[in-house]
Amino acid sequence: MTRLPFCPVWPEIALLEGIQVPIRNSPFPPRLRRHLMRGGYETDERRLVQQFVKPGDEVLEVGASCGVVTSFLWRQVGPQGRVVSVDGNGALKPFFDEVLRRNGFSGNWVEAIAYPVWAEEAPVAFGARGFAPSLNPLGSTVSADEAVPSEPDGEGPGVMTLRRIAETTGLRPTVLVADIEGTEGVWCETAPSLPESVKTVILEIHPQLIGVASAGATVQALLDEGFRITGISGLVFALGRP
């Protein structure tokens, strides 16, 4: 018997609550394509973005991936708002651009490994931990055996603090959106020290990567800076402060 593929001809796009995601010519394997076709991509993060990001917000998005959540952010902030998107996986940039183009947006992309603290410089030890693209083509993750330099050298992404990213792009962030695959665990040891301009944080935690106790301490670090939990969907938290 001839075994037919699940989808012999892929549709050109998947539609996620009005946001177009091209899949026919995408780099995604079949499982991820089907996931997008079912509308299951980052549903918890999308839900909180649509509830808590407002027109005119200036958003610092850390862990931008392929631009799907970025498109939701641009739709929320409107023409008076702004989104700066950061990711260390440069291979995603062409697809990120295509997703935003299809949805009528023009993104601000920064290729860097974000040290998620409002500081002048990241500690040397952070850059020495090592980062690499993950097996998931939608993102990147911490690697134990591959390091990147603390400054860009043309061979890989450099490390930038949240403050440096904002200063470089002229952003005065009112919202921080962070899906950084376990790097949020830095906040267990070093307070995020977010500026007063940041009124909303949407954070995906990864207890499978940093442990349950560290995941709790990560959220507590934001509570210690005056934030309160305003919404939870799955492992994604929305936090706000006056």
CA distance 160 to 113: 6
- The domain total for the chain is 1
DSSP 136: S
Is residue 31 included in any domain, yes or no? no
Residue among 102, 137, 101, 133 nearest 28 (CA)? 137
Is residue 230 included in any domain, yes or no? yes
Tokens encoding 117: 């603290």
Residue 227 has pLDDT above 80, yes or no: yes
Residue 12 has pLDDT above 70, yes or no: yes
Is residue 46 included in any domain, yes or no? yes
Is residue 4 included in any domain, yes or no? no
Q: Is the pTM of this model over 0.85?
A: yes
Expressed as residue numbers, the domain containing 148 is 42-240
Give percent of the chain above pLDDT 90: 68
Is residue 25 included in any domain, yes or no? no
Q: Which residues of 64-80 are buried (b: 16+ CB within 10 A; e: fewer)?
A: bbbbbbbbbbbbbbeee
Overall average pLDDT of the 186-193 stretch: 96
Is residue 6 included in any domain, yes or no? no
Is residue 7 included in any domain, yes or no? no
What three-state secondary structure class fits 107? coil
Alpha helices in the chain (DSSP H): 30-37, 43-52, 68-77, 93-102, 124-128, 162-169, 207-210, 212-223
Overall average pLDDT of the 18-34 stretch: 88
Overall average pLDDT of the 50-70 stretch: 96
CA distance 19 to 14: 8
Pairing type for strands 236-240 and 228-233 reads: antiparallel
159: which residues sit within 8 A by CB, 6+ positions away? 112, 113, 114, 115, 122, 126, 127, 148, 149, 150, 151
CA distance 103 to 113: 26
pLDDT tens-digit series, residues 127-156: 655 555 554 556 554 443 444 444 444 456
Residue 174 has pLDDT above 60, yes or no: yes
Is residue 9 included in any domain, yes or no? no
Supply the CATH number for residue 161's domain: 3.40.50.150
